A and B are shown apart, each in its own frame.
Chain A
Amino acid sequence: MSVMLDRAAPLLAVEKLEAWYGESHILHGATFDVREGEVVTLLGRNGAGKTTTLKSVMGIVGKRSGSVAFGGQELIRMSSNDIARLGVAFCPEERGIFASLDVEENLLLPPVVRAGGLPLDRIFDLFPNLKERLGSSQGTKLSGGEQQMLAIARILRTGARLLLLDEPTEGLAPVIIQQIGKTIRALKEQGFTILLVEQNFRFASTVADRYYVMEHGRIIDRFANSELDANLDKLHDYLGV
């Protein structure tokens, strides 16, 4: 990794992040960063704290401490609606498509928070299936893959610069996973910065620039995509696969 890159101020800098759900202490001082235009993947077993990390950046866990800086601005005491307004968008693991909204309402729901979001026709270039489904009555009547695409599509309009994607491939067929991978690479080309949570590191290796490995609420290792092969044995150990 070049010294130049290391010195560039990261878009997202997380330091000593701790988070709690009620009484349970989930994150124990996670430290990592994501630079502008990068796709960074958090790997780790179930319960390692990956989802909680995304939620802590978004400001939707009960209690958190440490530092989350986005574009130099400290988010740790901000409410999630204010964090979203700065240009951070979250795509949850369960997709969060609303049953009481039709497909179009779901797509148009998140308000535009800043200029520079993708126009609708570009979104339909990325997700041609969604355009055909616009007339569908209920968002939750879409297939799992279509719901995942809708969940990603709706946060591309808003002008958010940092996308937090929680296991976008979970439970999907290989052909859909390929399409999601293609989409993430296209989004990267368009300049989006992406923090991805994945169990599936084969998928992650097709999109990610760098990896962090989490265990027990801490970052225990980090490497670049070019170092993936050299780290495969360690990774199998970490993930238990």
Chain B
Amino acid sequence: MFELLGIPPQALFGQLLLGLINGSFYALLSLGLAVIFGMLNIINFAHGAQYMMGAFTAFFLLQFGIGYWPALIIAPIIVGITGIVIERLFLQRLYQLDHLYGLLLTFGLALIIQGLFRHQYGSSGLPYSMPAQLSGGHNLGFMFLPNYRGWVVVLSLIVCFGTWFVIEKTKLGAYLRAATENPTLVRAFGINVPRMITLTYGFGVGLAALAGVMAAPIYAVNPLMGADLIIVVFAVVVIGGMGSIMGAIVTGFGLGVIEGLTKVFFPEASNTVIFVIMAIVLLLRPAGLFGRAN
């Protein structure tokens, strides 16, 4: 058995995998935040609560006999629709105002949503079992790979790069990019920009809910599961650059891995390493690694 810098390879690769899993969630969540911020100019602090709602929706669906696979599609749609309602009722009134108002409103919504779920379901967490097809795992020789975790990484990569492709390479994406720059002019070309904004918010919220469904079999379904995660995800977004799609994806996965490696080499810093990186990036490149200063 070989060792690397005195670390057994199982521990190293195990943490690397754990980092990739966390990175998958960071990437999906920060991608949703980036899409929403780019189009709506809203810092969506309710994102963590919407991630939690995705997990809970999967849990509720299971009570009706609807399992994991359909839930992957249905839960993001249901939670996305609640996002559309929030956008129509509240957010659309804030676009002309400072970012701070959107942040405060969505922060308040997050507290209300989390409070309601905690009142109803407590904070101990509800179990959600792994789909049978993905239980077990493979021994890769140097490490044991649980099938479900491999699936999370692959699905997250597919969804992230699919979203990137749509935004950067398709006609719909061209409308979105153009409307981010100059919504008035895009609307004067005959595009219903307000509807596009509403659907974009619904999509971003749906991404959060998808991450929630994917998380349900790994972490317990818990009203506060998003509150813990969202702080790290905001650090990821700041490091990547607010509103940058590729920045959100690369930084999400990259910081997950860095966090995992820190657990191996300097465990004491593993909870703070992302925030240290955030501080350094803010000092050297305030617009973020992939962000454009304006």
Contacts and interface: CB of A to CB of B under 8 A. Distances in A.
Contacts of B186: 109
Interface string A131-167: 0000000000000000000000001001000000000
Contacts, number: 57
Contacts of A79: 187
Instruction: Identify the interface centre among B171, B180, B185, B193: most chain A CB within 10 Å of its CB.
Output: B185
Given A96-B182, A99-B181, A100-B180, A105 B174 contact: yes
Contact of A81 (B171, B177, B181, B191): B191
Interface in B159-205: 171, 174-175, 177-178, 180-182, 184-193
B191 A111 contact: yes
Given A101-B174, A101-B178, A109-B174, A96 B185 contact: yes
Contacts of A184: none
A71 interface: no
A110 B187 contact: no
Contacts of B181: 98-100
Instruction: Identify the interface centre among A60, A110, A158: most chain B CB within 10 Å of its CB.
Output: A110
Nearest to B189: A110
A60 B188 contact: yes
A29 interface: no
Contacts of B175: 109
A32 interface: no
A85 B174 contact: no
A117 interface: no
Contacts of B193: 81
Contacts of B171: 108
Main secondary structure of the interface of A (DSSP, over half): loop
Interface string A106-121: 0011110100000000
A98 B190 contact: no
Contact of A98 (B182, B187, B191, B192): B182
* Interface size class, chain A: 20 to 34
B185 A81 contact: no
* Interface size class, chain B: 10 to 19
Interface string A59-81: 11000000000000000000111
Nearest to A95: B185
A37 interface: no
A83 B187 CA distance: 10
Contacts of A201: none
Contacts of A158: 189-190
A113 B189 CA distance: 9
Given A98-B177, A100-B177, A80 B187 contact: yes
Contact of A100 (B178, B190, B191): B178
B184 A60 contact: yes
A81 B182 CA distance: 14
Contacts of B174: 101, 105, 108-109
Interface in A162-176: none
Contacts of A96: 182, 185
A179 to B, nearest CB: 23
A85 to B, nearest CB: 5
A90 interface: yes
A89 B191 CA distance: 12
A65 to B, nearest CB: 20
A108 B191 CA distance: 13
18 contacts: A60-B187, A79-B187, A80-B187, A81-B188, A81-B189, A84-B190, A89-B189, A90-B185, A90-B188, A96-B182, A96-B185, A99-B181, A100-B177, A100-B180, A108-B171, A110-B190, A111-B190, A158-B190
Given A60-B187, A96-B182, 14 more contacts: A58-B188, A59-B188, A60-B184, A79-B187, A80-B184, A81-B191, A89-B189, A98-B182, A101-B177, A110-B189, A111-B189, A113-B190, A155-B189, A158-B190
Interface of A: 58-60, 79-81, 83-85, 89-90, 92, 96, 98-101, 105, 108-111, 113, 155, 158
